[in-house]
Amino acid sequence: MILLGLTGSIGMGKSTVAAMLRSAGVPVFDADAAVHRLQGPDGPLLPAIEQAFPGSTGPGGVDRAALGRAVFGDSAALRRLEAIVHPAVRAERAAFLRRHRAHRIVIDDVPLLFETRAERRVDGVIVVSAPAWMQRRRVLARPGMSGAKFAQILARQMPDAEKRRRADFVIPTGRTRAETRRKVKILLACLRARGIRYCRSCVRSSSTPKQPG
């Protein structure tokens, strides 16, 4: 089994690439989705989160707005939340890998992969990347997003250029969806045929399109 980490900064198109990988038959562990399950209705983490952040949960699970207000800009509060969530996510990941150990390629989708040094547990890293102007446009189009919040999120994330430098493979999403899908197919075909050791030159695009005009 080849275990690849999939990562990329906010607004870079990581979810799009993850969906393309799944459609190609590759199992993808989605850490964010696991967090949603663990914090959803009757989620096992609700009692601990409510105790640490009173008023942040309800019948429907975690009140994401309330929890966000409790930890936003407060590094100590964020660490308390991570101490609750991260061990549970690790257990979910381990169970997922056991279920899919017979597959040739498995993806571990981790938004803060380099930031949490999670690259040490995978065989290689795929970074999804787009131009900064496109990233900003995508993110600010999201409901409830502001320039200040976007800046706060970026401050917690490793710069895109550094992620691309550390990556084994870079998938660009700044062009067309068809081009992104083509890059994904090329990479998967090489990995399935030759293994990761020989495939690092398959997806060479560490650069991204320039801002138009």
Beta-carbon contacts of residue 152 (< 8 Å; ≥ 6 apart): 72, 73
Beta-carbon contacts of residue 114 (< 8 Å; ≥ 6 apart): 7, 125, 158, 162, 163, 166
**Per residue in 12-29, is it b (16+ CB within 10 Å) or e — as a string?**
bbbebbbebbeeeebbbb
Residue 39 CA to residue 1 CA, distance in Å, equals: 30
Tell me the two tokens of residue 213: 């005009």
Element housing 45 (H / E): none
129 assigned to a ligand binding site: no
176 assigned to a ligand binding site: no
15 assigned to a ligand binding site: yes
Extended strands (E) in 50-103: 57-58, 61-62
Q: Residue 125 forms beta bridges with which residues? A: 5
185 assigned to a ligand binding site: no
**Per residue in 129-143, is it b (16+ CB within 10 Å) or e — as a string?**
bbbbebbbebbeeee
55 assigned to a ligand binding site: no
158 assigned to a ligand binding site: no
Residue numbers in the known binding site for ATP are 11-16
Residue numbers in the known binding site are 11-16
